[in-house]
Amino acid sequence: MSDLNNISYSGFSEGSKLLRRRSRKEKRFQLYGIVAIFVASLFLLVLIVSMTFKGFSVFTETRIALDIELKRSQIDPKETNDPMEVGKADFRGISRTAITKQFPKVKNRRDRRLLLKIYSRGVGFEVREFAMKNPQMVGSIVRIWVQASSDVDLLIKGNINRNLPESDRRIKDKQLTWIDQLNSQNQIERRFNSTFFRLADSREPEQAGVLGAIIGSALTLLVTLVLVFPIGVSSAIYLEEFAPKNRWTDLIEVNINNLAAVPSIVFGLLGLAVLLNFFEMPRSTPIVGGVVLALMTLPTIIISARSSIMAVPPSIREAAYGIGASPMQTVLHHVFPLALPGMLTGTIIGMARALGETAPLLMIGMVAFIADVPKSFTDAATVLPVQIFLWADAPERAFAERTAAATVVLLLFLILMNLVAIMLRKKFERRW
């Protein structure tokens, strides 16, 4: 009897050791998961903080007060007060005259060139825009706050050390004197940089904005969504619910899985060869970019949609068949609504991947310099990743800040898309 007790106690002791060992392994595995999440979150936080810190100064710009005499004889001699007629005047010359009047002691040609470099090259366009919006002000002297040049903007923000020797900085000593004079007269201010959000790309850093890239990205993603969601979901439903299991469907499934791993540059080459060269579609347009991104994203959408359909319990189908529903009714009325949240989540994730792609769009010409905001799917456009790529390659220092700021805008765009995915999932989620 004692032997049996010893055996029972020994077996219980071994079982307890196994349970404790298993518990330690589970806790260790949970710890690994927590550490992995912490490290991933830390990297993401470092990226966001770094980009925000580098690009935060872009959200303000330096403005200089300029007193301009809008002579009617130069701008609107016929006194029409028509904005179109007003806009035909030589506002570049008018603005230069106003700048030199503010500094009457500047006489020689070289100094005038240095003086004009304090102001943005787009001052004439700003004065023209003001006069067209306010034709009743023609004939009077007005004060307009115009953009400073990118170098002056960097100086005011503290990104240029004025204590360096003159040969080592872009701002010359005479320009520093004029800037200090304007500052002492309260004619220099830092304001919110609305230019960055309402204009497209420009050769001048202070005039460059992201609106064109944002609109181009939105139009391109809209084309991608219109193509990829119905085709991807329909393909997934057919392959999972209706397609017979034979060699052909196996071949199709293998090719879909392989296409999901193909480098994105290959889809760009496909778009270049087929869409541009064969079908002669317009280059560097959202419609072509959307088709290329749809081809790239489609395999991922099909795979995620099939996984969502497979996650629906078989009992749902059996119950539908039990009450006399046809296969089509079963899929559309029971399986599809339950799988829809997963399909939408997979689609949004695929769209987020498409938003961050650059290589396929470079192949179809969306790397071109686009100075206008696109208004339709066939207008020349660029997208946010390509805009970031172009600015990162620019030699001017001011574009480095705009690169970081555009990256922050792109991250916010991606976060917004993921929030939309969460909201859609909550909205269409059904429990069984």
Is residue 32 in some structural domain? yes
Residue 128's pLDDT is 92
Average of per-residue pLDDT across 193-212: 91
User: What is the arithmetic mean of pLDDT over 120-145?
Assistant: 91
Per-state percent for the chain, helix, strand, coil, to nearest 5: 70, 5, 25
pLDDT band at 2 (very low <50, low <70, confident <90, very high): low
- Is the pLDDT at 9 greater than 70? The verdict is no
Tokens of 152: 């002056």
Q: What is the mean pLDDT of residues 240-249?
A: 89
- Is residue 236 domain-shared with residue 372, that is, in the same domain? yes
Query: What number is the average pLDDT over the span 200-219?
Result: 92
- What mean pLDDT do residues 310-331 have? 89
390 pLDDT more than 70: yes
Which residue shows structure tokens 């710890």? 31
Residues 309 and 274 grouped into a single domain = yes
- Band (pLDDT 50/70/90 cuts) for residue 126 is very high
Mean pLDDT of 218-237: 93
Q: Yes or no: say if 394 and 233 are a contact pair by the CB < 8 Å rule.
A: no
The DSSP call for residue 272 is I
Same domain, 288 and 220: yes
401-422 pLDDT per residue, tens: 899 999 989 988 888 888 887 7
Per-residue confidence band for 430, with pLDDT thresholds at 50, 70 and 90:
low
**Residue 67 located in a structural domain:** yes
What is the three-class DSSP state of 276?
helix
Domain final residue pick, 200, 231, 246? 200
Read off the pLDDT band of 37 (50, 70, 90).
very high
Residues 13 and 132 in one domain: no
Are 229 and 273 in a shared domain? yes
Grade residue 366 by pLDDT with cuts at 50, 70 and 90.
Answer: confident
pLDDT of 315 higher than 60: yes
Residue 206 lies in a domain: no
Q: The tokens of 16 are what?
A: 């307890």
The number of residues making up the chain comes to 432
Q: Which pLDDT band, with edges at 50, 70 and 90, does 379 fall under?
A: very high
Residues 196 and 238 in one domain: no
> Residue 258: pLDDT above 70?
yes
Domain membership of residue 145 (yes or no) is: yes
> Phi-psi region for residue 134, left (φ > 0), alpha (ψ -120 to 50) or beta?
beta
Q: What percent of the chain has pLDDT over 70?
A: 96
At residue 432, the pLDDT reads 57
The answer to whether position 170 is within a domain reads yes
Do residues 218 and 176 both lie within one domain? no
In a domain, 323, yes or no: yes
Given this model, what pLDDT does residue 44 score? 83
In which band, very low, low, confident or very high, does the pLDDT at 3 lie, cut at 50, 70 and 90?
A: low
With a cut of 60, say whether residue 175 has pLDDT above it.
yes
Same domain for 75 and 26? no
Give 322-358 as a 3 state SS string.
HCCCCHHHHHHHHHHHHHHHHHHHHHHHHHHHHHCCC
- Answer yes or no: are the C-beta atoms of 228 and 271 closer than 8 Å: no
| Together in a domain, 325 and 406 | yes
Confidence of residue 98 (pLDDT cuts 50, 70, 90): very high
Residue 288 lies in a domain: yes
Residue 259 covered by a domain? yes
Q: What pLDDT is recorded for position 346? A: 86
Residues 196 and 342 in one domain: no
Q: Which two tokens stand for residue 109?
A: 């040609």
- Is residue 39 located within the same domain as residue 83? no
Predicted confidence at residue 5, as pLDDT, reads 53
Give the per-residue pLDDT at 21: 85
Average pLDDT over residues 193-198: 91
**Nearest 5°: CA angle at 259, between 423 and 312?**
45
Number of independent structural domains in the chain? 3
Query: Considering just the CA atoms, what is the radius of gyration of the chain in Å?
Result: 31
Q: Are residues 192 and 326 both part of a single domain? A: no
Last residue of a domain, one of 144, 172, 200: 200
pLDDT above 90 covers what percent of the chain?
44
The boundaries of the domain holding residue 52 are 2-56
Higher-confidence position of 81 and 387: 387
pLDDT bucket at 207, cuts 50 / 70 / 90: very high
Q: What is the pLDDT of residue 417?
A: 82
Q: What is the pLDDT of residue 431?
A: 62
pLDDT of residue 11: 57
Instruction: Give the residue, 319 or 425, on which the prediction is more confident.
Output: 319
Question: Where a domain ends, among 134, 167, 200?
Answer: 200
**Average of per-residue pLDDT across 322-350:** 88
Q: Tell me, what's the pLDDT at 45?
A: 87
Average pLDDT over the chain, rounded to an integer? 88
> 12-32, pLDDT tens digit by residue?
577 777 888 888 889 999 999
CATH at 325:
1.10.3720.10
More confident position, 68 or 107 = 68
